A and B are shown apart, each in its own frame.
Chain A
Amino acid sequence: MPELVITVARFGFLILLWIFVFTVVGVIRRDLFAGARSGRLVAAPRTVGAATGQPAPKPAKAKRGRAAHQLVVTAGQLAGTRITLGEAQITIGRAEDSTLVITDDYASARHARLVPRDGQWFVEDLGSTNGTYLDRAKVTGPTPVPLGVPIRIGRTSLELRP
């Protein structure tokens, strides 16, 4: 075997090794940022009244274009968890068959659920002991949930993100 061939193979292998590493990183990177159109995935939690520079995500607007696509847990044991929303309802509670199983002292087995109607999500309390709160207001019937408004269940806080 000529010396040159072996040298090329040696360094070719090392370069290919790093190409593999960077391809894996690329796949992971695309995975992380898929669906984040403008880096809003990591936007700070917004409250209803807060003026945040951009057009406020009002419920009326939420029906067109600015529909919710993710449910993000912002506080509590599961903080950081995000669920991609589809057409199915999301059930929340301590019961193991809930979509979001929260182990929170103040949560009931079947605490609340989120139901989509016409692209708008409604939160509904399922007769929980300690209640469900949309921002500061207690949820009594099915209530539309605007983007970025915290739903509070015990020590857990959730919000819808685009």
Chain B
Amino acid sequence: MTAAAAPAASPATTGEQPGVRLARSRRNAELSLLLLALVLVAAYGATVEATVLDTVTADFWMPTAVLAALFLAMHVAVRFLAPFADPALLPAVALLNGIGVGFLRRLDLAKADPGDRETLAIFAGNGGRQLAWTLASVALAAGLLALMRDHRSVSRYAYTLGLAGIVLVMIPAVLPARYSEIYGAKLWIIIPGLGQIQPGEFAKLALLAFFAYYLVRKREVLSLASHRFLGIDFPRGRDLGPVLAVWALSVLVLVFEKDLGTSLLYFGMFVVTLYIATERVSWLLIGLILFFGGAYLAYVLGGVIGGPFANFHLRAEIWLDPFADPYQDGYQLVQGLLALGSGGLFGAGPGGGEPLEIPEVQNDFIFAGIGEEIGLFGLSALLVVYLLIVERGLRAALAVRDSFGKLLAGGLAFTLGLQVFVIVGGISKLIPLTGQTTPFLSAGGSSLMANWLLIIVLMRVSDAARRPMTGGPGGTAARPGGGPPEQLHGAPTEVIRP
């Protein structure tokens, strides 16, 4: 194999072919989408002020301007740090985050005295706090993007992350209730005078990185060495042991912390990662049967003996018939359903609804509050935006060339989708309501920050997936038998296996 004529010919033949167009970074598309999203956020803010205050104040653009500066800075960071990342992710997330901030500010306007409304400071109230949290989250996200230059480097810290995940999940369980319990759910770390964080949101990311790494290492064993039982292949216990232990521990602790939503989220995350790793539908079946069986058992047990299951029993009862006790137990769900219903097809217009009638509208029920004002027409657009984010995540998982990246991106995208399903299904009475935040919309710093980090991981994986496989400036073809140097160009991180 001689390479004498290669350098002259091969650039000419490959340089102008359509295949090369695939290598475009699409950053300009991202910029224009981002600007469109920001226009939407500004329009939302202006419409809210026009409806609530009956005039548009001169400062209506201030929160949008802060968000614009943030997201454009993030866009520039992506240009330098992950030039081939998916162009749809950042604008979609920016839109959701911006509308979330706008809606929370709208709640503040409704709560404030009529005299103070026109002079509400931009960092005041829930909306202002959310804006500050967005600032912190985007800064942290940019930091992660700079720090994690290759998603495969995460696999080096897999066991550390797994341990960190368990510890994070367990902290609220062992802390005294005074420092960890809000509304009966013991899943917070409350720092008196400062605020509270929800460590489970971050544990989600750490545990998923561990699952992905472990299942990549063991996937051959898991899908080959198995016992056949009832026509389904079960892997050997010792191969699955550590993952099952991590999962059982997190689920037990979560049941103990009375947070069924997150528990369900971890369970789904675990089953789907296992399914992606082994490509066996039997895992999905086992997972669904275990889940429905467990849920039914918890419902029955809650009715008979109460105790730790009483909470779930009550939620299931409310779900089955929310109008049985519309002023006490079912109050929140009934108010949410009434809000969605009075919103109708096109809604009451931003600022035109009565969201304060719904308890906790800034957290769990934000989708019902927004739904009253933008109607089914607008809500479905928001749901499609979520769908597109999940689709782009799964697309990155399909396209990336290493198994760890596939599992990581696939698991993260699915987890985000499942979280939206659990909460939107809950408020629309499709499934029993379990407390979950709506990603990027709900008030809450931990959730916002963790979901921004999740998006950054997806962008990093999609950058690796879409980066074209070209060598350095000289091109590999110029060197006969070109060896390791060019490969290392394409693979900035070397994973050293024990």
A67 contacts across to B, CB distance below 8 A = 13-14, 17
Please choose the segment from B35-43, B171-179, B429-437 that sits at the chain A interface, where 4 or more of its residues have CB less than 8 A away.
B35-43
Chain A: residues with Cβ within 8 Å of the partner, total of 62
A46 interfacial by beta-carbon distance below 8 Å: no
A18 contacts across to B, CB distance below 8 A = 377, 381
Contact with A along B329-342 (1 / 0, CB 8 A): 00000000000000
B91 interfacial by beta-carbon distance below 8 Å: yes
Q: Name the residue of chain A whose CB is nearest to the CB of B19.
A: A69
B219 interfacial by beta-carbon distance below 8 Å: yes
User: Within the assembled complex, what's the spacing in Å between the Cα atoms of A138 and B347?
Assistant: 66
B22 interfacial by beta-carbon distance below 8 Å: yes
A130 CB, nearest partner CB in chain B, Å: 15
Q: Name the residue of chain B whose CB is nearest to the CB of A28.
A: B88
Jot down 12 A-B pairs with beta carbons below 8 A, ordered by A.
A1-B51, A14-B381, A16-B39, A20-B33, A21-B381, A28-B388, A86-B23, A88-B490, A99-B491, A116-B14, A117-B6, A119-B14
A45 interfacial by beta-carbon distance below 8 Å: no
Q: Are A96 and B476 in contact (CB under 8 A)?
A: no
A162 CB, nearest partner CB in chain B, Å: 8
B118 interfacial by beta-carbon distance below 8 Å: no
Residue of A7, A103, A142 contacting most chain B CB atoms (<10 Å): A103
Q: Are A21 and B19 in contact (CB under 8 A)?
A: no
Q: Name the residue of chain A whose CB is nearest to the CB of B99.
A: A17
A68 CB, nearest partner CB in chain B, Å: 8
Q: Name the residue of chain A whose CB is nearest to the CB of B479.
A: A89
Residues of B475-490 at the interface with A, using a CB-CB cut-off of 8 Å, are 475-477, 482, 484, 486-490
Chain B: residues with Cβ within 8 Å of the partner, total of 85
A48 interfacial by beta-carbon distance below 8 Å: no
A127 contacts across to B, CB distance below 8 A = none
Q: A1-B54, A101-B403 are in contact. Are A86 and B469 (CB under 8 A)?
A: yes
Q: Are B350 and A13 in contact (CB under 8 A)?
A: yes
Contact with B along A5-46 (1 / 0, CB 8 A): 111011111101111110111011011001111000000000
Per a CB cutoff under 8 Å, which of A81, A90, A117 touches B399?
Answer: A81
Q: Are B50 and A83 in contact (CB under 8 A)?
A: no
B470 CB, nearest partner CB in chain A, Å: 3
Per a CB cutoff under 8 Å, which of B43, B219, B392, B484 touches A16?
Answer: B43
Contact with A along B25-69 (1 / 0, CB 8 A): 010010011001101100110110011001110000000000000
Per a CB cutoff under 8 Å, which of B10, B56, B384 touches A118?
Answer: B10
